[in-house]
Protein backbone atom coordinates (compact mmCIF):
# COMPACT_ATOMS: atom_id res chain seq x y z
CA UNK A 1 0.00 0.00 0.00
CA UNK A 2 1.51 3.33 -1.06
CA UNK A 3 2.15 6.06 1.48
CA UNK A 4 1.76 9.83 1.24
CA UNK A 5 2.20 12.71 3.66
CA UNK A 6 0.83 16.23 3.46
CA UNK A 7 3.00 18.68 5.42
CA UNK A 8 0.98 21.76 6.32
CA UNK A 9 3.47 24.64 6.48
CA UNK A 10 1.47 27.84 6.72
CA UNK A 11 2.61 29.33 10.04
CA UNK A 12 3.79 32.88 10.67
CA UNK A 13 6.88 34.18 12.43
CA UNK A 14 5.09 36.66 14.67
CA UNK A 15 5.79 34.85 17.96
CA UNK A 16 9.47 34.61 17.06
CA UNK A 17 9.74 38.34 16.30
CA UNK A 18 10.97 36.98 12.99
CA UNK A 19 10.74 38.45 9.53
CA UNK A 20 10.25 34.99 8.03
CA UNK A 21 7.47 32.49 8.62
CA UNK A 22 8.23 30.05 11.41
CA UNK A 23 8.65 27.02 9.15
CA UNK A 24 11.64 28.80 7.59
CA UNK A 25 13.29 29.78 10.89
CA UNK A 26 16.80 28.36 11.26
CA UNK A 27 17.04 25.33 13.52
CA UNK A 28 20.63 24.22 14.12
CA UNK A 29 21.91 25.12 10.69
CA UNK A 30 18.89 24.77 8.42
CA UNK A 31 15.22 25.83 8.14
CA UNK A 32 13.02 23.68 10.36
CA UNK A 33 10.81 22.69 7.41
CA UNK A 34 13.83 20.99 5.83
CA UNK A 35 14.35 18.96 9.00
CA UNK A 36 10.69 17.94 8.91
CA UNK A 37 10.94 16.77 5.29
CA UNK A 38 14.19 14.88 6.05
CA UNK A 39 12.49 12.86 8.79
CA UNK A 40 9.81 11.65 6.37
CA UNK A 41 12.36 10.85 3.66
CA UNK A 42 14.21 8.68 6.18
CA UNK A 43 11.08 6.85 7.34
CA UNK A 44 10.24 4.83 4.20
CA UNK A 45 12.03 4.01 0.96
CA UNK A 46 9.06 5.26 -1.06
CA UNK A 47 6.93 8.06 0.39
CA UNK A 48 5.22 10.81 -1.59
CA UNK A 49 5.75 14.12 0.24
CA UNK A 50 3.45 17.07 -0.43
CA UNK A 51 4.30 20.44 1.15
CA UNK A 52 1.48 22.97 1.44
CA UNK A 53 2.67 26.59 1.43
CA UNK A 54 0.98 29.99 1.13
CA UNK A 55 1.16 31.31 -2.43
CA UNK A 56 3.40 34.23 -1.46
CA UNK A 57 5.97 31.94 0.21
CA UNK A 58 6.54 29.37 -2.53
CA UNK A 59 9.24 31.29 -4.39
CA UNK A 60 11.05 32.05 -1.11
CA UNK A 61 11.02 28.33 -0.27
CA UNK A 62 12.48 27.49 -3.68
CA UNK A 63 15.22 30.06 -3.06
CA UNK A 64 15.99 28.47 0.32
CA UNK A 65 16.20 25.02 -1.28
CA UNK A 66 18.74 26.39 -3.77
CA UNK A 67 20.73 28.21 -1.07
CA UNK A 68 20.94 25.10 1.15
CA UNK A 69 21.38 22.69 -1.78
CA UNK A 70 18.26 20.90 -0.55
CA UNK A 71 17.27 18.38 -3.19
CA UNK A 72 15.01 15.90 -1.38
CA UNK A 73 12.04 15.22 -3.62
CA UNK A 74 8.70 16.78 -2.69
CA UNK A 75 5.68 18.33 -4.34
CA UNK A 76 4.46 21.84 -3.54
CA UNK A 77 0.83 22.93 -3.47
CA UNK A 78 -0.73 26.27 -2.59
CA UNK A 79 -2.50 26.46 0.76
CA UNK A 80 -5.91 27.88 1.59
CA UNK A 81 -7.09 30.40 4.13
CA UNK A 82 -7.51 27.66 6.76
CA UNK A 83 -5.73 24.41 7.54
CA UNK A 84 -8.84 22.53 6.35
CA UNK A 85 -8.59 24.02 2.84
CA UNK A 86 -4.81 23.52 2.78
CA UNK A 87 -5.12 19.82 3.56
CA UNK A 88 -7.92 19.51 1.01
CA UNK A 89 -5.62 21.01 -1.64
CA UNK A 90 -2.96 18.47 -0.71
CA UNK A 91 -5.43 15.60 -0.93
CA UNK A 92 -6.34 16.70 -4.46
CA UNK A 93 -2.80 15.78 -5.59
CA UNK A 94 -3.18 12.16 -4.47
CA UNK A 95 -4.81 10.09 -7.20
CA UNK A 96 -4.04 6.66 -5.74
CA UNK A 97 -7.25 5.01 -4.52
CA UNK A 98 -5.89 2.57 -1.93
CA UNK A 99 -3.16 4.15 0.19
CA UNK A 100 -2.23 5.57 3.59
CA UNK A 101 -2.22 9.37 3.95
CA UNK A 102 -0.58 11.26 6.79
CA UNK A 103 -0.97 14.94 7.66
CA UNK A 104 1.82 16.61 9.60
CA UNK A 105 2.63 20.05 11.00
CA UNK A 106 5.56 21.68 9.25
CA UNK A 107 6.56 23.11 12.63
CA UNK A 108 7.13 19.66 14.20
CA UNK A 109 10.71 19.09 12.98
CA UNK A 110 11.69 16.72 15.82
CA UNK A 111 9.41 13.90 14.65
CA UNK A 112 11.51 10.75 14.24
CA UNK A 113 11.43 8.24 11.38
CA UNK A 114 10.70 5.55 13.98
CA UNK A 115 7.56 7.34 15.18
CA UNK A 116 6.44 8.01 11.60
CA UNK A 117 6.73 4.32 10.75
CA UNK A 118 4.76 3.30 13.86
CA UNK A 119 1.94 5.74 13.05
CA UNK A 120 1.66 4.68 9.39
CA UNK A 121 1.70 1.00 10.39
CA UNK A 122 -1.00 1.63 13.01
CA UNK A 123 -3.19 3.31 10.38
CA UNK A 124 -2.62 0.39 8.00
CA UNK A 125 -3.95 -1.95 10.69
CA UNK A 126 -6.70 0.17 12.27
CA UNK A 127 -7.65 2.56 9.46
CA UNK A 128 -6.72 5.64 11.49
CA UNK A 129 -3.83 6.60 13.79
CA UNK A 130 -3.74 9.65 16.07
CA UNK A 131 -0.58 10.01 18.22
CA UNK A 132 -1.17 11.38 21.72
CA UNK A 133 0.86 11.95 24.88
CA UNK A 134 -0.26 12.21 28.53
CA UNK A 135 -0.74 15.57 30.20
CA UNK A 136 1.95 16.05 32.84
CA UNK A 137 0.76 19.27 34.47
CA UNK A 138 -2.27 20.11 36.57
CA UNK A 139 -5.32 21.20 34.58
CA UNK A 140 -8.11 23.51 35.62
CA UNK A 141 -11.44 24.04 33.88
CA UNK A 142 -12.23 27.74 33.87
CA UNK A 143 -15.76 29.12 33.57
CA UNK A 144 -16.96 32.70 33.62
CA UNK A 145 -16.95 33.07 37.42
CA UNK A 146 -15.09 30.03 38.79
CA UNK A 147 -12.54 27.31 38.10
CA UNK A 148 -11.97 23.72 39.18
CA UNK A 149 -9.26 21.12 38.88
CA UNK A 150 -9.94 18.29 36.42
CA UNK A 151 -8.41 14.83 36.32
CA UNK A 152 -5.48 15.11 33.91
CA UNK A 153 -5.56 11.33 33.40
CA UNK A 154 -8.75 11.89 31.37
CA UNK A 155 -6.93 14.08 28.82
CA UNK A 156 -4.25 13.69 26.16
CA UNK A 157 -2.22 16.12 24.03
CA UNK A 158 -2.67 15.43 20.33
CA UNK A 159 0.28 15.35 17.91
CA UNK A 160 0.92 14.75 14.23
CA UNK A 161 1.37 13.05 11.83
CA UNK A 162 -2.24 11.89 11.92
CA UNK A 163 -2.64 9.01 9.46
CA UNK A 164 -5.66 7.52 7.71
CA UNK A 165 -6.57 5.06 5.01
CA UNK A 166 -7.34 7.08 1.90
CA UNK A 167 -11.01 6.17 1.64
CA UNK A 168 -11.59 7.45 5.19
CA UNK A 169 -9.78 10.78 4.89
CA UNK A 170 -10.98 11.68 1.37
CA UNK A 171 -14.61 10.97 2.23
CA UNK A 172 -14.33 12.96 5.46
CA UNK A 173 -12.94 16.02 3.66
CA UNK A 174 -15.69 15.98 1.02
CA UNK A 175 -17.65 18.55 3.06
CA UNK A 176 -17.72 22.27 3.69
CA UNK A 177 -15.55 23.71 6.47
CA UNK A 178 -16.97 23.78 9.99
CA UNK A 179 -15.47 25.72 12.90
CA UNK A 180 -15.37 22.52 14.95
CA UNK A 181 -12.61 21.20 12.66
CA UNK A 182 -9.48 21.81 14.73
CA UNK A 183 -7.41 19.00 13.19
CA UNK A 184 -7.83 16.07 10.83
CA UNK A 185 -9.12 13.78 13.58
CA UNK A 186 -12.09 16.10 14.21
CA UNK A 187 -12.92 16.12 10.49
CA UNK A 188 -12.86 12.31 10.36
CA UNK A 189 -14.92 12.00 13.55
CA UNK A 190 -17.54 14.36 12.08
CA UNK A 191 -17.94 11.88 9.22
CA UNK A 192 -18.92 9.18 11.72
CA UNK A 193 -15.60 7.32 11.94
CA UNK A 194 -14.09 6.73 15.38
CA UNK A 195 -10.35 7.44 15.40
CA UNK A 196 -7.74 5.15 16.94
CA UNK A 197 -5.34 6.70 19.47
CA UNK A 198 -1.76 5.53 19.94
CA UNK A 199 1.32 6.58 21.89
CA UNK A 200 3.10 9.61 20.50
CA UNK A 201 6.48 10.97 21.58
CA UNK A 202 7.01 13.83 24.08
CA UNK A 203 9.98 14.97 21.97
CA UNK A 204 7.68 15.54 18.98
CA UNK A 205 6.88 19.11 20.01
CA UNK A 206 5.24 21.76 17.88
CA UNK A 207 7.36 24.90 17.66
CA UNK A 208 5.16 27.94 18.15
CA UNK A 209 7.21 30.24 20.40
CA UNK A 210 10.81 31.32 20.87
CA UNK A 211 11.11 29.09 23.94
CA UNK A 212 9.95 26.09 21.88
CA UNK A 213 12.70 26.85 19.39
CA UNK A 214 15.31 27.07 22.15
CA UNK A 215 14.14 23.71 23.55
CA UNK A 216 14.34 22.12 20.09
CA UNK A 217 17.89 23.44 19.67
CA UNK A 218 18.90 21.82 22.96
CA UNK A 219 17.25 18.52 22.05
CA UNK A 220 19.09 18.46 18.71
CA UNK A 221 22.37 19.69 20.18
Instruction: Give the pLDDT confidence of 96-139 residue by residue, as tens digits.
Output: 889 999 999 999 999 999 999 999 999 999 999 999 999 999 99
Amino acid 16: pLDDT: 59
Phi and psi dihedrals of 182, rounded to 5?
-100, -20
Mean pLDDT confidence for 53-69:
96
SS3 category, 20 = coil
For helices 113-126 and 32-43, give the axis angle rounded to 10 degrees: 60
Residue 12 has pLDDT above 70, yes or no: no
Amino acid 117: pLDDT: 98
Instruction: Give the pLDDT confidence of 137-193 residue by residue, as tens digits.
Output: 999 999 888 899 999 999 999 999 999 999 999 999 999 999 999 999 999 999 999
Residue 11 confidence class, pLDDT cut points 50, 70, 90: low
Q: How far is it, in rounded angstroms, from Cα 14 to Cα 21?
A: 8
Q: How far is it, in rounded angstroms, from Cα 163 to Cα 40?
A: 13
Phi and psi dihedrals of 24, rounded to 5?
-100, 0
Residue 19 has pLDDT above 60, yes or no: yes
Amino acid 10: pLDDT: 78
Residues 6+ apart with CB under 8 A from 46: 2, 3
The secondary structure element, H or E, covering residue 77 is strand 75-78
Instruction: Report which of residues 48 and 12 the model is more confident about.
Output: 48
Instruction: Report which of residues 92 and 10 the model is more confident about.
Output: 92
**pTM for this predicted structure:** 0.94
Q: How far is it, in rounded angstroms, from Cα 212 to Cα 177?
A: 30
- Cis amide linkage into residue 45, ω under 30° from 0: no
Instruction: Give the pLDDT confidence of 190-214 residue by residue, as tens digits.
Output: 999 999 999 999 999 999 999 999 9
Amino acid 197: pLDDT: 98
**Structural domains of the chain, with CATH:** 2-132+158-220 (3.90.550.10)
Amino acid 20: pLDDT: 79
Amino acid sequence: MTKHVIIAAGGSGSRFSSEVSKQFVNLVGKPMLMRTIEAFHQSFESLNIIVVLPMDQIEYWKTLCADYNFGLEHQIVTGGSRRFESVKNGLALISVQDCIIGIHDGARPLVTPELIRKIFNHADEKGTAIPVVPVSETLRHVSEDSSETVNRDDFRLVQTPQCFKSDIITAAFDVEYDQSFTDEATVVEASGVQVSLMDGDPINIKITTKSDLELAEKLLG
